Structure 1
């Protein structure tokens, strides 16, 4: 994956990029149900080969795609400019534009959302990477890129057919391990994570990038 990304630009600031997960704000919406997640959010657009950041706006999913928190506008802390403009993120976005654009060459304009997620696991309180369960995101394509795992067990990605049957599973274990998902064809989820050593802090950090065609 590193080799693929570096064909679209450098990852020279990866350390600072990955380190930004240490200062994510709590997800206040999930706190209401006792789950521990931190996140930031940003919106971009892609026209041809040009990718531009859009004004900060809420993240919205219908209840058809998110039964837990769908149907409401959720305002998350914005990704700071130095991360949005970082070489690493720009390389990731250009890779996604090329890869997903190759799957849908008829699409000229894309709506892009990115989410920085940190899932925290505590003794007796497993972290829930996908608290909404096995789901679709309501977009065209999804990149899930692992940033870091610390003192974490499990967190297995599962891919399902429309009838719920399991098609396959795998675990993202090293930085830059990735899942590329055709959201119109399959459902996906991630199993709960637990600390390997309950006495120590633990987290699972991922970057999620979604592409949805503009109509």
Structure 2
């Protein structure tokens, strides 16, 4: 299980704010790592988190891996985000040009859709509202779209006994969007999985590891590259995996 234990309540005057946690470092550096206890202050409704996290046990195998790997499972859904409005779009393929994904890009990839109960879970709604607010606040008014096109990905990367799982098999990359948010759901019997951030000259500017449920990375995809090291089993006799939710936003 990936049950979240809320941190002790903080006095109102000491609670982290969206500005101190996200806007200042994200605007300055193009990325920010937010630990789980801080995310609790930013997400209002996590009562059904356990049900949401459990849906990662029902993902389909990604059959589009050009490296022949069968270590990635996923589901996919798209939404339109506009102010207070969140609307799910008809199911559609995921597409990236080979300029951004040299391994699997250049084709339409049809993944299994989010289950209806997952797409309607209040935890996902809270996450989408937060990402929308971050993107809107940090986009100059003259460049803000009337609505954002949001792509959501449920990923499970499985580490095999004799082969690590690769969260970013395309290597260091950008996604070809405006904003990226990666939220840890659960790690089970895996080591590594370090996220590295590089500037547009591919120089390392930061690194961290998502370990606890709700550990989160926000990334300005126009300003930095990102990648994640392979995950390996801690105990080779037991299954191991890394579950994350990825949300990307771009102009409609």
TM-score bin (small chain):
over 0.9
Q: Partner of 1:174 in structure 2?
A: 212
The one of 17, 23, 40 aligned to 2:52: 17
In structure 1, C-alpha distance between the alignment counterparts of 2:203 and 2:98, rounded to whole Å = 22
Q: TM-score, normalised by structure 1?
A: 0.96
Distance 1:35 1:101 in 2: 37
Aligned mates of 1:170, 1:190 — CA distance in 2: 10
Could you tell me which of 91, 94, 104 is aligned with 2:129? 94
Which structure 2 residues correspond to residues 71-82 of structure 1 after superposition, within 5 A? 71-82=106-117
Where do 1:12-161 residues align within 5 Å?
12-30=47-65, 33-104=68-139, 105=141, 106-161=144-199
The Cα shift of 1:47 comes to: 2.1
Is the Cα contact below 8 Å between 1:127 and 1:194 reproduced in 2? yes
The answer to whether the 8 A contact 1:30-1:36 is kept is no
TM-score (norm 2): 0.82
Structure-2 change in CA distance of 1:179 and 1:200 (3 Å): same
Q: Does structure 2 retain, via aligned residues, the 8 Å contact 1:35–1:128?
A: no
The corresponding residue for 1:213 is 251
- SS of aligned partner of 1:3: helix
- In structure 1, the gaps of 5 or more residues are none
Alignment size in residue pairs: 211
Structure 1 counterpart of 2:229: 191
Shift of the alpha carbon at 1:111? 0.5
Return the offset for 1:112: 0.4
Deviation beyond 2 Å, 4+ runs, structure 1 = none
Tell me how far 1:31 sits from its aligned partner.
7.5
